[in-house]
Amino acid sequence: MKRTLASAAGAILATALFAAPAMAQGSGSATIDAIMKRGQLVCGVAGLTAGFSLPDSQGVMRGIDADSCRTVAAAVLGDASKIRFVPTTTTNRFTMLQSGEVDMLYRSTTWTLGREASLGTEFASINFYDGTGFLVKTSTNVKSVKELDGATVCVQPGTSTELAIADYFRVNKMKFTPILMQDLSEIQNAYLAGRCDAYSTDASGLASFRSQQGAKAPEHTLLPEIISKEPLGAMVRKGDDKFFDVVRWTYFATLIAEENGMDSKTIDSFAANTVPEIRRFLGLEGDMGKQLGLDNKWAYNVIKQVGNAAEIWERNITPLGVPRGINNLWTKGGLNYAPPMR
């Protein structure tokens, strides 16, 4: 009898111990609670870069970062339009995230050890595999970064680009003079005015800037070398694991949809599909959404309202003339690989 009571007591205690975390979590995320109460996702972006985040003629924020923000709004709120974009700079972006002024960042921000270890933040996904590049005037006939010894280089301070350039020139026993300016338009105008020999930032940003020159684009040459790894992605505050999961799996959802041929136009036709992962994706079985603290149709809403990874790329990056390359799915020679949704 004592053994039976002891066993029962142990079972009750074990149940309580395992149940406690779920009970303590409540909805599972302070950030998600705040977003739902507000009825709006607040997403920090650059707001200055074509292809990534830049208002169109109607004032609507466009770009791969802007659309990536919208996917999270669609997942959490069921409506991709329930979003407020907040322009940030390279120097205030982390402070704004830490202070809660924004719920998350999608701001062409590079994932580095230092940023993840010391800022109280972490990276949930990579929406663009990039690298540091250099843009020069075609008239200079410079064909390689190795020809920039002694050059002046326009670069934004406080960026991973600034560090990457310093490392590269040091390793190659070359010298350069950085021309540091915080304002993006100011630094681009300085380059155009000839105040520096080269302009350096992520190669995608350089391609975007070059494309904005219109008929004068051929007057600028993007040098072939990519001198660093710059994985760009979503940044969230540490300590809210459930929101981290949501942001990470929302990005994975755009990849899984592409892998399975589901896009914003065709996803409704998959309702009768019998493939288990697709049924879980559509919220027809498995309670994947509930496990994230969301509606079971969260992934469906993401794709129906914003699109899969290929649609987002083609809408925003393809017009810049940038090939998808390593940003493709793993099945097409790229680095994008989503874990199974099960």
CA distances (Å), origin 278, targets 255, 281, 290: 13, 5, 16
* Tens-digit pLDDT profile for residues 120-132: 999 999 999 999 9
- Residues 8-62: pLDDT tens digits? 444 443 333 333 333 334 468 999 999 999 999 999 999 988 899 999 999 999 9
Rg (C-alpha) for the chain, rounded Å, is 23
The mean pLDDT value for 232-242 works out to 97
- What's residue 27's pLDDT? 60
pLDDT of residue 10: 41
Say what the pTM is: 0.83
Q: Cite the residue boundaries of each domain of the chain with CATH code 3.40.190.10.
A: 30-130+231-318, 132-228
Q: Given a cut of 60, is residue 105 above it in pLDDT?
A: yes
Structure tokens at 93: 């972006």
Q: pLDDT tens digits for 261-311?
A: 999 999 999 999 999 999 999 999 999 999 999 999 999 999 999 999 999
Q: What is the CATH number of domain 30-130+231-318?
A: 3.40.190.10
What is the DSSP code (8-state) at residue 339?
P
Distance CA 328, CA 239 (A): 31
Give the CA-trace dihedral at 217, 315, 128, 310, to 10 degrees. -130
Average pLDDT of the chain to the nearest whole number? 91
Closest by Cα among 291, 299, 239 to 31: 239
In the predicted model, what is the mean pLDDT of residues 165-170?
96
Contacts 24+ apart (CB under 8 A), 184-190: 184/46, 184/48, 184/49, 184/156, 185/48, 187/154, 187/155, 187/156, 188/154, 190/154
- The structure tokens listed for 160 are 């991973």
Residue-wise pLDDT for 170-200, tens only, equals: 999 999 999 999 888 899 999 999 999 999 9
d(CA 135, CA 201): 9
Q: Check pLDDT > 80 for residue 151.
A: yes
323 pLDDT band, cuts 50/70/90, is confident
Residue 182: its pLDDT value, please?
A: 87
Q: What pLDDT, on a 0 to 100 scale, did the predictor assign at position 208?
A: 86
pLDDT of 306 reads 98
CA–CA gap between residue 81 and residue 259 (Å, rounded): 25
Taking domain 132-228, whether its CATH number is 3.40.190.10 is answered by yes
pLDDT band at residue 2 using 50, 70 and 90 as cut-offs: very low
User: 243: exposed, middle or buried (C-beta count within 10 Å: 0-12, 13-18, 19+)?
Assistant: buried
Spell out the long-range contacts of 20-23 with Cβ–Cβ below 8 A and sequence spacing 24 or more. none
